[in-house]
Amino acid sequence: MKLSGNTILITGGTSGIGLELAKKLLQKGNKVIVTGRSDSKIAAAKKLLPDLQVIKNDIGQASEIENLVNTVKKDFPDLNILINNAGIMQELNLHDESLTDNQLVGELHTNLLGPIRLSHRLIPHLKQKSESAIVNVSSGLAFVPLPISPVYSATKAGLNSFTRSLRAQLKTTSIRVFELAPPATATPLLADANEMDMKGISVMSVEALVDAALKGMENDVYEIRPGQSNQLKWMNRIAPEFIFSQLSRTLDRILPPAKSK
């Protein structure tokens, strides 16, 4: 698809992958609107990229999605590309009885329910454009779960499944449906990652990741799996138990000692 002259909404575009996408898409001659929750990140993004349009918004709240849809349709009627990028990732020890409901399922609201709700609400608008797209940012962990981040992995597998169904349902419309499944990428999301857990994982630069994403979109590659994401997808077909055991190794750090049977 053509990546110039578009009007593009990127959720969670004030940091990491979303911010780099915004930068490169502005350079290619698009109008770019980004969202995020934090005032300071919004201000920093605007300072870095003065042409950027910014909207404070929490994609994890259904009522805020309604506000976002209304604002975007009113202020940016030319909008023709939605990039569902906002995401959070946490480690969760399911043995921890003190976890609150929000700690347990908070990732679902941002990573899965947000993209589902926003895509659904914008389909009527996007269908009216001669060329339009929805891009869902999942993860290599959509193909093989990382058990130390069980809910995050479930949200990304869910987003992969939803994206495939969405693509099938929109096949007779002007809306192309892409999935970008990044591998481990050097952004603030990974800043707190445990050093031992990252052993053997090659971390991609955010610039290389975004170059691969844009090249994929330009060539109508509908499931874009840069670097180790592609390996995870194929390893899950060839040797599923082996690759799952590899990704389960990090659990040794948090699990209680095994009880003898």
Ligand X SMILES: NC(=O)c1ccc[n+]([C@@H]2O[C@H](COP(=O)([O-])OP(=O)(O)OC[C@H]3O[C@@H](n4cnc5c(N)ncnc54)[C@H](OP(=O)(O)O)[C@@H]3O)[C@@H](O)[C@H]2O)c1
Contact partners, residue 172, CB within 8 Å, separation at least 6: none
Binding mask 1-30 for ligand X (x = CB under 6 A): ----------xxxxxxxx------------
Place of tokens 């952004």: 187
Contact partners, residue 202, CB within 8 Å, separation at least 6: 183, 184, 227, 228
Catalytic residue, candidates 19, 69, 133, 152:
152
Exactly one of 26, 105, 190, 221 binds ligand X (CB under 6 A); that residue is 190
Select the span of 125-133, 163-171, 183-191, 247-255 touching ligand X (CB under 6 A): 183-191
41 lies in the site for ligand X, by CB under 6 A: yes
CA distance 20 to 13: 8
Which residues are registered as beta bridge partners of 81?
8, 133
Nearer to ligand X, 33 or 172 (CB): 33
110 lies in the site for ligand X, by CB under 6 A: yes
Do residues 228 and 201 lie in contact, with contact meaning Cβ atoms separated by under 8 Å? yes
Q: Residue 136 CA to chain centroid, in angstroms?
A: 6
Nearer to ligand X, 69 or 173 (CB): 69
Nearer to ligand X, 199 or 259 (CB): 199
Binding mask 46-75 for ligand X (x = CB under 6 A): -----------xxxx---------------
222 is an active site residue: no
CB of 3 to ligand X, least distance (A): 19
87 lies in the site for ligand X, by CB under 6 A: yes
Number of residues interacting with ligand X: please give it, by CB under 6 A.
32
CA distance 171 to 164: 11
Which residues are registered as beta bridge partners of 224?
180
Place of tokens 């009113």: 74
CA distance 23 to 48: 9
Strand, helix or coil for residue 217: helix
38 lies in the site for ligand X, by CB under 6 A: yes
Determine which helix (DSSP H) or strand (DSSP E) holds 69, and give its type and residue range: helix 62-75
Structure tokens at 146: 């990382």
Nearer to ligand X, 12 or 170 (CB): 12
- Strand pairing category for 81-84 and 7-10: parallel
Strand, helix or coil for residue 175: strand
CB of 174 to ligand X, least distance (A): 25
Binding mask 123-162 for ligand X (x = CB under 6 A): --------------x-x-----------------------
The footprint of ligand X (CB under 6 A) covers: 11-18, 35-38, 41, 57-60, 85-89, 110, 137, 139, 182, 184-185, 187-190
Give the residue numbers annotated as catalytic, written as ranges: 152
